[in-house]
Amino acid sequence: MPDQGEFKRDTNYISDRITADGRDGWPVEPGRYRLVIARACPWANRASIVRRLLGLEEVLSMGLCGPTHDERSWTFDLDPGGRDPVLGIERLQEAFFARYPDYPRGITVPSIVDVPSGQVVTNDFKQITVDLSLEWGAYHRDGAPELYPEKLRDEIEDVAEKVFQDVNNGVYKAGFATSQEAYEEAYRALFARLDWLSERLAGQRYLVGDTITEADVRLFTTLVRFDAVYHGHFKCNREKLAEMPVLWAYARDLFQTPGFGDTIDFGQIKEHYYVVHRNVNPTGIVPVGPSESGWLTPHGREELGGRPFGDGTPPGLPPVGERVPALGS
C-alpha cells in the first residue's frame, strides 16, 4: 500500500528484561543499573513516575538527558562537563553502541543501562514500567501501591492499548502526518477517544478500579503535555485540555498526587518539541504560554471516592538532585 502520509512509529525495541530470576542474563540488583530519561519525553516520563511511586530511587539511579537532541541521540548536556556522572558518557548512543556497535535504530528514552559494562539493557518503555512493578518488588518502598494488580491486568491492557493507539501515539500521528487525509483521520480518532475517556472518567476517579494503576500513568503523560505542546504544535486543536472538564479535573487530580506533578518540567517539555521538530516548527521559537497556574487549582475528584494508593501511602519528596522547578519559575 502506498504511503498516505501517515506517521509510523518504530516499535522494535531491545526486548531484554531485568528480572528477579535473571532469566535474560540481567538479574535485579540494587545499584547495578541506571535508568536514563529525559524530562521532556512522555514515554520516559512514565518510567520516572513509576520509579517514584514504587520508591526505587535508592536502588535504581536515574540519569537525566537534556531536552533537545540531534539526529545522533540524546545528550547529557545538563550535567557538569556534559557527561553523565555515573556512566561517564556524553551521549546515550554510546551505551547502545557499547552493546551493539552497528545499532541501526533510534536511540530512545527511557533506557536502562548496565553500569558495570556501560551497555544498554533495554529501551522497551512499555515493559520497563511493568517490570518495575512485577520484578523489582523486593525493593519497593513500604506502602508502595500496586500499579499492575493481577486481577485487573487484562482491563488495564485493554484500556491502555486504546489510549496508546489513539491518544499517546495519536497526537504524534496528527502532528507528524504529511497529508491532510492522514492528519484528519488521526485528529478524529484522538478526540473520539478523549470523548470516550471523558465518559468513562465522569463516574469513576481512575481508569481501572478505584486506585491509581499503570493505565493512569500511561494516559497522564500525554494529558499533561496537551495544552503546552499538542494543542498547537501538533494541531490537536478541537479544544484544550483545560476546556474538557472531566479530563482536566482528572489530570489535575493526578498532577497534585505525589509522584506525578513532581516529575514534570514544562520548560523542558516545550523546549524539546518546539526546538527539535524543525519540520513542524521551522523557527525553533518556544512559546511562553500557556499559564501553568491552573494545575494546582482544586479538582473536586475526591467526591468520586477512590483511594489513590489503595492500602499504601504516598511517596516522600523526590531526592534533591531530581526535583523539578516550581510551576511558573
Tracing cell 532469566 back to the chain, one arrives at 23
38, burial (CB in 10 Å: exposed 0-12, middle 13-18, buried 19+)? buried
**Domain edge (last residue) among 73, 104, 139:** 139
Could you tell me if 266 and 134 lie in one domain? no
Say if residue 43 is in the same domain as residue 113: yes
Mean confidence (pLDDT) of the chain? 96
What's the pLDDT score for residue 1? 36
- Verify that 165 and 126 share a domain, yes or no: no
Mean pLDDT of 25-43: 98
Q: Which of 13, 148, 172, 206 is catalytic?
A: 172
Nearest alpha-carbon partner for 261 in 230, 226, 300, 220: 220
Confidence (pLDDT) at 2: 42
State pLDDT tens for residues 180-217: 999 999 999 999 999 999 999 999 999 999 999 999 99
Segment 291-310 shows an average pLDDT of 97
| 134: pLDDT strictly greater than 80 | yes
- Tell me the pLDDT band of 10, cut-offs 50, 70 and 90: confident
Q: What percent of the chain has pLDDT over 90?
A: 95
Running DSSP on this structure, what letter comes out for residue 237? -
Alpha helices by DSSP H, 72-124: 93-99
**Within-domain flag for 223:** yes
Q: Return the CATH number at 104.
A: 3.40.30.10
**Of 87, 111, 139, at which residue does a domain stop?**
139
User: Which structural domain, as residue segments, surrounds residue 111?
Assistant: 33-139
**CA 36, chain centre distance (Å):** 12
- Residue 30's pLDDT is what? 98
Instruction: CATH number of the domain at 216, please.
Output: 1.20.1050.10
Whether residue 49 is predicted with pLDDT greater than 80 in this model: the reply is: yes
Q: How many domains does the chain have?
A: 2
Asked if residue 154 and residue 298 are part of one domain, the reply reads yes
> Do 278 and 131 fall within a single domain?
no
**Together in a domain, 260 and 290:** yes
Q: Round to the nearest angstrom and report the end-to-end CA distance of the chain.
A: 49
| Catalytic-labelled residue, pool 33, 41, 187, 273 | 41
Q: Supply the pLDDT for residue 3.
A: 61
Please compute the mean of the pLDDT values over residues 5-28 and round it to a whole number: 93
Give the DSSP letter string of 121-159.
EE--HHHHHHHHHHTSGGGPPTT---SS-GGGHHHHHHH
Residue 172 known to be catalytic = yes
Q: How far is CA 31 from CA 263, 320, 326, in A?
A: 21, 18, 29
